[in-house]
Structure 1
Amino acid sequence: MLLLRPVARGRWFLQRTLRLAAVACGSHPQACTAWTPSRAHGTWSAGDSSRRRKVMAAGALLGLAAGLAYGDHRRRAEEADPNAAAAPQALYPVFTRQEVGRHRSLADRVWVTYGSEVFDITDFVELHPGGPSKILLAAGGALEPFWAMYAVHSQEHVLEILRGYKVGELSPEEQSQPAQGDPYSGDPPRHPALKVNSLKPFNAEPPAELLTENYLTPSQLFFKRNHLPVPAVDPASYRLEVEGPGGRTLSLSLPELKSRFPKHEVTATLQCAGNRRSEMNHVRPVKGLEWGIAAISTARWGGARLRDILAYAGYGGEETGEWHVCFEGLDKDLSGSAYGASIPYGKAMACEGDVLLAYEMNGEELPRDHGYPVRVVVPGVVGARNVKWLSRVLVSREESPSHWQQNDYKGFSPSVDWDTVDFTTAPAIQELPIQSAITDPPPSATVPPGELTIKGYAWSGGGRGVIRVDVSLDGGRTWHVAEMAGEEQPPGRAWAWRLWQLTAPVPTGSTELDIVCKAVDTSYNVQPDTVEPIWNLRGVLSNAWHRVHITVAQD
């Protein structure tokens, strides 16, 4: 070993340390940072202390590995340029995010940003303790949403590694001037890891394998569902109009909304009505965006209760449940028509309804794509009713007249087609049905024989909690019960998903596996086994058993 060159010796120590870390974790090193025990968000019930010791040991080993990787890189840099160590204050070139975004592969070099700095991490990709695939998800974009998922990154030695790969700074004026005549030219930048389903308006979902890496979804990776251009709102001039009884109008500025009403927080999952629509397209073509399994995300929302604001405007409990609360957004089409939706009055006024006019997301102000400065968050209800960029609230005997309330987001029989559909015959979707999906392993993956770990999410609308997730490795002939993690929420107010995982032996002699999952909620609702009976022309409410076919590697 002493005869090895310094660089080779450093790499040998790195590889050996990563193998030791894997042993400490009991699996691949990336498992050390997944499902880290958290009292705030739930823990695994069995083996916590043992697992915590393994994670701590693995963390120490990964820290050593990271230090060795940095030392290896530093030595190579100094060999190439002996003056590099003596010039820490050297000036760096300036790049735009667009220029950074061109470096997304090993062939084009892999660049990332952290804060205002730009880094070329191509040489570190293969050394990444979590594996090349995870770090490449950040290629061409920001590291922050990925690092937020793994506490191991919040250490000084990790920043030291990153500093060794710095190649430039972001330009303060890196945002280009809006193109004339394009209503979408003012849209905010988005993370390049998102799977884009449409650019104008922008609709995208995160990589499925990231969904179950963290209980709260980082806002940059939270799925994006826009119907119209993102409005640019000046917080100083923003006013929320609330129409009170008798036509009186309450006008609230953003500071007034924050100071006059107590702040309330709720952890809630939002899901697009079209989540998993692509599976319905495999039966018969449907009209709508080709969503996969990731048009669903979870955040901690903060804001004022809608019921407090309606009470302040003069509404009480005397109105019947037949009334509706209507919302209008600041996002408008070229004709000036705004996006709108409504929810039942009873939901809005219920103490246990937890409906918010939210101005915070995961402890920070709302990002533009998610409704800045104020949006509606209606826990347990389809995402389409959670109106963003909120401008107006009114109570009405009628539902919102908006196209998206009257002529979209409704479910129909498989026998109904576009020649026979009558949107007035179906109620608008509010609460969503029980849902679950497999996020890891991905479809068509090849896994080694032995034990297999399967991960996914489960959620049900209306505040119904998930009591069980069943997983099958043989297409539904036999079943295992998965372990669940996540925030414990009160009965009837279980607004957030449960993350689940199952580790099971691969059946001896298997060459292929048909993995299936299905969830059961507190009302004992269960997912249908196939898509065909729930197919509908808009491809909404897709919640059949989720199926993933994989291959087992042969010795």
Structure 2
Amino acid sequence: MLRVTGTRLMVTRLSTVASVARTLQWQRVSVNVWTTRSECCVTRQWTRCYATAIRQQRRGSCGSRRPDLGLRSRWRSALAVGTAFGIFAYFALRRSHRAAESPDGATAGSRRDDLPDIRRKDIERHKDASTGVWMTYRDGVYDVTDFVAEHPGNKKILLAAGGAVDGFWDFYAIHHTPHVYRQLEELRIGNLHPEDAAQTPASNGSSSKAFSHEPRRAPVLQVHSARPFNAEPPSELLVDDFITPTTLFFVRNHLPVPAMVDSVTVDGVGVHRPVNMSVSEMKTRFEVITVTTAMQCAGNRRREMDDFRSVKGLQWGSAAIGNAEWTGVRLSDVLAYAGVREGDIEHVIFQGGDSDAEGTPYEASIPAAIALDPHRDVLLAFEMNGEPLAEDHGAPCRVIVPGFIGARQVKWLRRITASRAVSESHWQRADYKIVPDSFNWAHDDISEVMPIYEYPVQSAICEPANGSSLDADEDTVVVRGYSWSGGGRGILGVDVSVDEGVTWRAARLTQTPQGVGRQWAWTLFDVEAAIPSDRRGGRLDVMCRAVDTAHNSQPGDIAAIWNQRGLLHNACHRVTVHVPESH
């Protein structure tokens, strides 16, 4: 959600209401909104309004009184106005974001009178580190030499060296964000000569074909990238249910959603019985089990780290995590059936059906010791929350590796390969790694850096929302959120502070026992704390911190864990809310 104040905050809230309205229509449900509890939605905070609407839709009630049809009619009118205004605000904000400004006020890639014109033949001479790496975007020319050296996807970037990056960005539309535009304009050295610009070929539409299998999504999701699609729910909705509804589960797509193919192949070292099977064959051949586990993107909460110091990557909030029931067959059973033994291999590689502009599929691997251990509950999953997998979540079959980051849990699974080495893919060898500031991208080998597998202990506040306001007649604040630790470690406790960490209060925990070393599900927490009297008419800084069963605790601040890619951000979470003067 955009962190804005005043009029812009109201625009954002109205836009969110409009999104919820579309979500409820999309789900073909009706919501009864009445009584004093719902009236406060209309007269108080819009942020509470959409949360209340979603909760009522799930729980089927919102009070003990019968519906007031007149109020319901007025509510529909108010919602219609809010929806119309919200849609207008959404597109206005979207236009302002897409037209990111460079230092002199020009939009990214547009001509700038303060810079020289450069001929394309001169740009084409700059293709590697020895000559410098230049490329164009729209009418702009950029020297990206130093940027390429530090980027984990440098091999992909070099495909556009000496030429135009436009076609690649049509495919990897994740780059069309204000954050990326600002970084790009900092590298600007000139304008593409007008004669060369006039001869630039138009897009061939290949990216549109690649994205032809995109499914319908819940409008309430906050989108960070449309192509590939990446989005998270409003954090306020995340902790209403221990099991995250599929429509509110964050979506992390590295590449376009592929056409559905119901076939998984098992091959590689030590495979004595090659396997090629469908989901229905899995169900009849192996034991079907259900595992409740949280899944968290390695970039969750990256936006906070970027606020501290600029990082590269999608600007995730704190809701790139969810907790679901996954049903499937054990990977260990499938590998045993194929004849694979732990002593023969070191890694198991998963290949997805999604592929990039060059046809390279998404791929990741996990250690064989994890894959072959039945107690680690690694699944080939075909159901999520009791229903067949949705397209965005890997239909018809995906890998679930409890306790691991989401990037290792490959969707749209096509191939499983037993191997003595890790996957050679960019996402395994170069991405999802933490390097120190001293790392020299030009000389050090990123492939030698340890890949991220497990997530450290984490907690975050979902209510109250950052930037929201409490009611003047409230003497206490209810704080709700989630906590989780990777590797099967459970949560011992969560503490909450409302006085900037001077004092802490233990929160009540909601969790399900799953056994030692197998605590895959998240823990929800809540606590009610008195509002300090000296905070009236000012702000309240709320913090949380968690400790897991290995007695790991969250670091106090971001500085200790900052890294260039903004990964594994688990410093104590903080939100600030406004406390009005009491009546």
Report Cα offsets for 1:440-497 as digits up to 9, x if no partner. Answer: 1111222244111101110000000000101111111111111100222211000011
Instruction: Name the counterpart of 2:532.
Output: 507
Instruction: Name the counterpart of 1:453.
Output: 478
8 A contact 1:414–1:534 mirrored in 2: no
CA distance in 1, matches of 2:464, 2:497: 13
Instruction: Name the counterpart of 2:195.
Output: none
Matched, 1:531 2:440: no
- Identify unmatched segments of 5+ residues in structure 2: 1-13, 78-203
Instruction: Name the counterpart of 1:233.
Output: 260
CA distance in 1, matches of 2:61, 2:335: 44
TM-fit CA distance, 1:249: 2.1
> Quick one: which amino acid aligns to residue 566 of structure 2?
G
TM-fit CA distance, 1:152: 3.2
| Secondary structure in structure 1 of the residue aligned to 2:560 | helix
Report Cα offsets for 1:335-382 as digits up to 9, x if no partner. Answer: 111000000111111121000000000000000000000000000001
TM-fit CA distance, 1:551: 2.1
CA distance in 1, matches of 2:23, 2:298: 33
Matched, 1:401 2:456: no
Which of these residues, 367, 382, 391, is aligned with residue 390 of structure 2? 367
> Quick one: which amino acid aligns to residue 299 of structure 1?
A
Instruction: Name the counterpart of 2:215.
Output: 188
> Quick one: which amino acid aligns to residue 466 of structure 2?
P
Which of these residues, 263, 287, 294, is aligned with residue 262 of structure 1? 287
The aligned runs of 1:241-252 (5 Å cut-off) are 241-243=265-267, 245=270, 248-252=273-277
Instruction: Name the counterpart of 2:511.
Output: 486
| Secondary structure in structure 2 of the residue aligned to 1:251 | strand
CA distance in 2, matches of 1:109, 1:242: 43
Which of these residues, 307, 331, 355, is aligned with residue 354 of structure 2? 331
8 A contact 1:112–1:120 mirrored in 2: no
Instruction: Name the counterpart of 1:384.
Output: 407
Matched, 1:297 2:301: no
8 A contact 1:104–1:111 mirrored in 2: no
Instruction: Name the counterpart of 2:227.
Output: 200
TM-fit CA distance, 1:284: 1.8
> Quick one: which amino acid aligns to residue 377 of structure 1?
I
Instruction: Name the counterpart of 1:273.
Output: 298
The aligned runs of 1:427-446 (5 Å cut-off) are 427-446=450-469
CA distance in 1, matches of 2:438, 2:55: 44
Residues 154 and 386 (structure 1), Cα distance of their counterparts in 2 relative to 1, 3 Å cut: farther
Q: Which stretch has the larger CA shift, 247-256 or 106-115? A: 106-115
| Secondary structure in structure 2 of the residue aligned to 1:464 | coil
Instruction: Name the counterpart of 1:540.
Output: 567
Report Cα offsets for 1:307-354 as digits up to 9, x if no partner. Answer: 00001111234446xx00100000011211100000011111112100
TM-fit CA distance, 1:271: 0.4
Report Cα offsets for 1:223-280 as digits up to 9, x if no partner. Answer: 000000001215xxx2110116257521112210111111011000000010011111
Report Cα offsets for 1:35-70 as digits up to 9, x if no partner. Answer: xxxxxxxxxxxxxxxxxxxxxxxxxxxxxxxxxxxx
Over aligned residue pairs, what C-alpha RMSD do you find?
3.4
Question: What percentage of aligned pairs have identical amino acids?
Answer: 43
CA distance in 2, matches of 1:342, 1:107: 41
CA distance in 1, matches of 2:423, 2:19: 50
CA distance in 2, matches of 1:108, 1:541: 29
Instruction: Name the counterpart of 2:133.
Output: none
| Secondary structure in structure 1 of the residue aligned to 2:61 | helix
8 A contact 1:366–1:372 mirrored in 2: yes
8 A contact 1:212–1:457 mirrored in 2: yes
Instruction: Name the counterpart of 1:288.
Output: 313
Residues 261 and 163 (structure 1), Cα distance of their counterparts in 2 relative to 1, 3 Å cut: farther
Which of these residues, 275, 278, 283, is aligned with residue 253 of structure 1? 278
- Identify unmatched segments of 5+ residues in structure 1: 1-102, 167-178
Residues 119 and 152 (structure 1), Cα distance of their counterparts in 2 relative to 1, 3 Å cut: closer
What count of residue pairs does the alignment treat as equivalent? Answer: 432
Residues 112 and 438 (structure 1), Cα distance of their counterparts in 2 relative to 1, 3 Å cut: closer
Report Cα offsets for 1:422-457 as digits up to 9, x if no partner. Answer: 312311101110000111111122224411110111
8 A contact 2:31–2:56 mirrored in 1: no
Instruction: Name the counterpart of 1:74.
Output: none
Instruction: Name the counterpart of 1:131.
Output: 41
TM-fit CA distance, 1:108: 12
8 A contact 1:417–1:537 mirrored in 2: no
- Normalization by structure 2: what TM-score? 0.68
Greater share of helix residues, 1 or 2? 2
CA distance in 2, matches of 1:331, 1:458: 31
CA distance in 2, matches of 1:524, 1:397: 34
Instruction: Name the counterpart of 1:11.
Output: none
